[in-house]
């Protein structure tokens, strides 16, 4: 088997390496972003369509190469560009000071406005951010809109809720989980189209630009790309693209005129804008600590739920009637056999039409129930490992089955289970980072917001790792001490 | 003649499809110290386990403490309670609850099975441990006890519910000569208090020295005239 695999893998590596060079223009984007940016062609899912696809084609043609799409998750686009995984990243990427300082950034090819979307019934009530005092307002993490909301959070004491995608903010707005969404007009138009009952307010909250990003050492290629973009602005090819995607408006000709006149585009200053890593670290540290507290509280509560539920499942599987045993076994296999991420999605988004769980509760249930399956297996094994002599002694003393379980078998099994349980708790602490997909901002999410803001993962990553260790090491110590005390 | 507290009639026990005890009959009287002798595998431990309600009968019946154990019959809940109150057992390897101190081992059944107050149970447990010479080890965990100490704690645990019948499996297995003699005195004293004490042992010398009466088992049966 290995003999066959090795040459095959080598061949793939070689093919991948040759594909990188030559007449291809590799551009990275996230097809999950969907229309109008990049999406899989509904007619042929192996192809992508969208305005970014057409911009990439213009660039490739200008360079005399053929465009080739590389799928990269949106939040990884900057890092992948810096690594040189592709020639250019194009996926509705916003211009920002952090990107300009870490990457080679093209001139803008589209100008957008940040706007407020609300439910139709709130059209009169919520016209500006100031009207949303104390309300929950959704956006996409690590965007200009997020920065605007963070500033508004301090100014108007509203609650910013970050999502990892731009679809669920609007569906949650329609469901009433949040009271407004702030995102760029392109996303807002799509959100309103998909969710009847939502309206876009015409208040202008900020202006931003879509740019392409390249590895910092690719400034020569960037300059050529800029020339091609300017030519396409002049000869109307870009206009045609945006007209086709119904995105053309009067802001674009003004932007193009400025760019063709050689003016630099000024970025809107935001409160969190920074290229000074240490100043940013100082500014973000309280938020990281707060996120660490959320991680800790969530993990402890989820573990408590997992321990209680897991114990009940284990008791049911050891003592229960055959039908109960079968049902519990099925539960354990289904929960263990499907991804936690999927379970979180189902709990938070999937159940939303029937029951709207608050994000933290959904996170707690998802993590707790997922881990209960693992805990139950540990306890079942531990229960079965308690020596028969101990059970005989309990019975001979006249203890009922329940008393024998609670007073003798359970506590002894718990001691046996302690080491694997500690292991699971440490794993849960880190798995809790998955709940950011359902808008809970915990340690890892806050770190990635921080990293996106300053355009580097080095300092945020180190701080994040240190905080996780601070949380998990005392736990491991405590468990070791308990084990020492209990084990003969 | 003293009252019969334990009546074993024609008892059979099956394990893994094989009869390991068959046609065993004997009785025990109040104040009597009875020894069942036999090599290992002769079935003597199994007889004790059956009397304690731990191994079901495949034939015959046992009357003890006003409860009848018989083949194919599970005791109702209160019957089980009565049985375990009437019969105490000390296992060969003691099986002290490893996660509890000596005194907690002793008070467990009085507090939880008999629903006595904790104060009363602790008071009685201390008295029992003192009487058995291990009062100073009340707070020790089982793994901190020597074999002899663990056995005495196990005896105290079995006596905590004040059973009329006390069973002991291989009581001399882990004792040196001096401790053996001490144990003999203790068992005699327990019988003198009016209990029926039944020991299962392969230590013939010990059995003949301390018991009022001995039985010999081989291959799951009582050997006539043993």
Question: Which of B53, B91, B112 is opposite residue A389, by nearest beta carbon?
Answer: B91
Quote the CA–CA distance of B160 and B193 in Å, as a whole number.
14
Q: Which helix (H) or strand (E) holds B7?
A: strand B4-15
Distance CA B110, CA A471 (A): 43
Q: pTM of the prediction?
A: 0.76
Dihedral of CA atoms A437, A295, A475, A284 in degrees, nearest 10, equals 120
Query: What is the distance of C-alpha A231 from the center of its chain?
Result: 37
Q: Are strands A136-140 and A159-163 parallel, antiparallel or unpaired?
A: parallel
Looking at residue A1, its pLDDT comes to 42
Residues of chain B positioned with their CB less than 8 A from the CB of A399: 108-109, 112-113
Of B77, B91, B112, which has the smallest distance from its Cβ to A407's Cβ? B112
Q: Does domain A22-109+210-260 have CATH number 3.30.1370.60?
A: no
Domain membership of residue B127 (yes or no) is no
Class of the domain covering A112-207: alpha beta
Both tokens of residue A272? 């969190």
Residue B155 CA: distances (Å) to CA of A444, B132, B186: 58, 8, 10
**A212: helix, strand or coil:** strand
- Look at B91 and A400 and tell me if their CB atoms are within 8 Å: no
Residues B123-179 pLDDT 10s: 999 999 999 999 999 999 999 999 999 999 999 999 999 999 999 999 998 788 888
Residue B181 to chain A, least CA–CA distance (Å): 26
> Where exactly are the structural domains of chain A?
22-109+210-260, 112-207, 277-486
Which neighbouring-strand residues pair with A27?
A: A69, A88
Contacts of B95 in chain A (CB under 8 A): 387, 389-390, 392-393
**Dist CA A342 CA A340 (whole Å):** 5
Mutate to test the interface with A, among B109, B157, B161 (most CBs of A within 10 A): B109
Residue B143 lies in a domain: no
**B153 vs chain A: nearest CA distance in angstroms?**
13
Torsion angles phi and psi, residue B172, rounded to 5: -95, 0
CB pair distance less than 8 Å for A395 and B89: no
Sequence-distant (6+) residues with CB within 8 A of A261 are none
Chain B: residue whose CA lies nearest to A410: B99
DSSP state of B129: H
User: Cα-flanking dihedrals φ and ψ of residue A425, to 5°?
Assistant: -65, -40
Burial (Cβ within 10 Å: 0-12, 13-18, ≥19) of residue B132: buried
Q: Which of B49, B77, B84 sits opposite A397 (nearest CB)?
A: B84
pLDDT at B25 over 60: yes
Q: Is A356 exposed, middle or buried (0-12, 13-18, 19+ CB in 10 A)?
A: middle
Q: Is residue B40 part of a domain?
A: yes
pLDDT tens profile B180-195 = 999 999 999 999 999 9
A138-176 b/e with 16+ CB inside 10 Å = b? bbbbbbbbbbbbbbbeeebebebbbbbebbbbbbbbbee
pLDDT of B75 over the 60 cut: yes
| In-domain check, residue B147 | no
Instruction: Identify which of A453, A484, A442 has the alpha carbon closest to the alpha carbon of residue A162.
Output: A442
- Whether A432 and A365 have beta carbons less than 8 Å apart is answered as no
- pLDDT recorded at residue A18: 47
- What residues in A contact B80, CB-CB < 8 Å? 398
**pLDDT for the residue A195:** 92
Partners of A488 on chain B (C-beta within 8 Å) are: 98, 141-143
How is domain A277-486 classified at the CATH fold level?
A: MetI-like fold (1.10.3720)
Asked if residue B132 belongs to a domain, the reply is: no
pLDDT at A2: 46
Number of domains in chain B: 1
The total number of residues written for chain B in this structure: 226
Instruction: Quote the minimal CA–CA distance from A410 to chain B in Å.
Output: 11
CB of B193 within 8 Å of any CB in chain A? Answer: no
Task: Examine domains A112-207 and A277-486 and report if their fold is the same.
Answer: no
B115: contact with A, CB 8 A cutoff = no
Which residues of chain A, if any, have pLDDT below 70?
1-22, 268-275, 487-488
Residue-level pLDDT at B174: 79
DSSP structure class, residue A34: B
Q: Which of residues 351-410 of A touch B (CB under 8 A)?
A: 387, 389-390, 392-400, 403, 407-408
DSSP string, A113-172: EEEEEEEGGGTTT-SSGGGGTT-EEEEETTSHHHHHHHHHHHHH--EEEEESSSSHHHHH
- Residue pairs between chains A and B whose CB atoms are closer than 8 Å: 65
A387, A396, A486 ranked by CB distance to B52: nearest: A396
**pLDDT by residue (tens digit) across B84-107?**
999 999 999 999 999 999 999 999
Query: Are the beta carbons of A398 and B88 separated by less than 8 Å?
Result: no
* Domain of residue B207, residue span: 4-97+159-222
Distances (CA, A) of A386 to A397, B51, B94, B95: 17, 24, 15, 12
Please give the pLDDT value at position A11: 55
Q: Do A393 and B95 touch (CB under 8 A)?
A: yes
CATH of the domain at B25: 3.40.50.300
């Amino acid at each position: 088997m290995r003999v066959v695999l090795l040459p095959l893998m080598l061949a793939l590596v070689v093919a991948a390496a040759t594909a990188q060079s030559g007449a291809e223009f590799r551009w990275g984007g996230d097809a999950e972003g969907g229309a109008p940016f990049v999406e899989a062609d509904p007619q042929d899912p192996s192809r992508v369509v969208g305005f970014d696809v057409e911009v990439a084609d213009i660039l490739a043609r200008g360079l005399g190469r053929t465009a080739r799409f590389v799928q990269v998750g949106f939040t990884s686009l900057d890092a992948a560009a810096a690594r040189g995984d592709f020639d250019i990243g194009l996926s509705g990427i916003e211009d920002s000071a952090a990107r300009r300082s870490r990457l080679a950034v093209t001139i803008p090819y589209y100008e957008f406005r940040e706007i407020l979307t609300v439910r139709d019934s709130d059209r009169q009530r919520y016209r500006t951010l100031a009207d949303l005092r104390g309300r929950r307002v959704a956006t996409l993490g690590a965007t200009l809109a997020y920065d605007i909301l963070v500033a508004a959070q301090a100014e108007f004491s509203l609650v910013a809720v970050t999502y990892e995608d731009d679809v669920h903010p609007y569906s949650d707005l329609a469901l009433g989980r949040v009271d407004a969404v702030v995102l760029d007009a392109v996303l807002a138009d799509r959100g309103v189209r998909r969710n009847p009952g939502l309206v876009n307010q015409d208040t202008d909250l900020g202006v931003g630009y879509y740019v392409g990003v390249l590895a910092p050492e690719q400034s020569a290629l960037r300059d050529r790309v800029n020339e091609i973009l300017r030519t396409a602005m002049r000869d109307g090819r870009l206009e045609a693209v945006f007209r086709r995607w119904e995105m053309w408006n009067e802001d674009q000709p003004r932007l193009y005129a400025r760019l063709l006149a050689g003016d630099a585009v000024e970025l809107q200053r935001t409160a969190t804008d920074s290229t000074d890593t240490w100043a940013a670290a100082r500014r973000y540290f309280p938020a990281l600590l707060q996120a660490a507290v959320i991680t800790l509280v969530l993990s402890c509560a989820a573990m408590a739920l997992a321990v209680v539920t897991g114990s009940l499942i284990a008791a049911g599987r050891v003592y229960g009637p055959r039908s109960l045993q079968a049902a519990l076994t099925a539960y354990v296999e289904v929960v263990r056999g499907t991804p936690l991420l999927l379970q979180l999605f189902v709990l938070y988004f999937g159940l939303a039409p029937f029951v709207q769980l608050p994000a933290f509760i959904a996170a707690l249930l998802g993590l707790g129930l997922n881990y209960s399956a693992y805990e139950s297996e540990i306890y079942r094994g531990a229960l079965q490992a308690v020596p028969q002599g101990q059970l005989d002694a309990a019975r001979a003393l006249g203890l009922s089955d329940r008393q024998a379980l609670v007073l003798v078998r359970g506590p002894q099994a718990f001691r046996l289970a302690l080491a694997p349980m500690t292991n699971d708790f440490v794993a849960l602490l880190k798995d809790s980072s998955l709940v950011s997909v359902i808008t809970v901002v915990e340690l890892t999410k806050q770190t990635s917001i921080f990293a996106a803001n300053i355009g580097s993962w080095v300092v945020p990553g180190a701080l994040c790792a240190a905080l996780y260790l601070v949380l998990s090491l005392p736990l491991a110590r405590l468990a070791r001490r308990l084990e020492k005390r209990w084990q003969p | 003649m003293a009252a019969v507290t334990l009546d074993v009639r024609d008892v059979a026990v099956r394990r893994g499809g094989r009869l390991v005890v068959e046609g065993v009959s004997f009785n025990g009287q109040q104040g009597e110290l009875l020894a069942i002798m036999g090599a290992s595998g002769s079935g003597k431990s199994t007889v004790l386990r059956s009397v304690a309600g731990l191994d079901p009968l495949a034939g015959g019946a046992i009357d003890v403490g006003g409860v009848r154990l018989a083949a194919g019959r599970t005791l109702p809940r209160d019957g089980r309670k009565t049985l375990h109150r009437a019969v105490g057992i000390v296992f060969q390897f003691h099986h002290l609850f490893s996660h509890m101190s000596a005194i907690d081992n002793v008070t467990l059944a009085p507090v939880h099975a008999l629903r006595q107050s904790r104060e009363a149970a602790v008071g009685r447990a201390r008295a029992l441990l003192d009487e058995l010479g291990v009062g100073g080890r009340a707070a020790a965990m089982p793994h901190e006890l020597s074999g002899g100490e663990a056995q005495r704690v196990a005896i105290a645990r079995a006596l905590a519910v004040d059973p009329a019948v006390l069973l002991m499996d291989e009581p001399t297995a882990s004792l040196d000569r001096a401790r053996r003699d001490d144990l003999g005195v203790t068992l005699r004293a327990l019988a003198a208090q009016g209990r029926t004490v039944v020991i299962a042992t392969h230590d013939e010398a010990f059995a003949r020295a301390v018991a009022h009466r001995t039985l010999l088992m081989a291959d799951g049966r009582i050997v006539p005239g043993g």
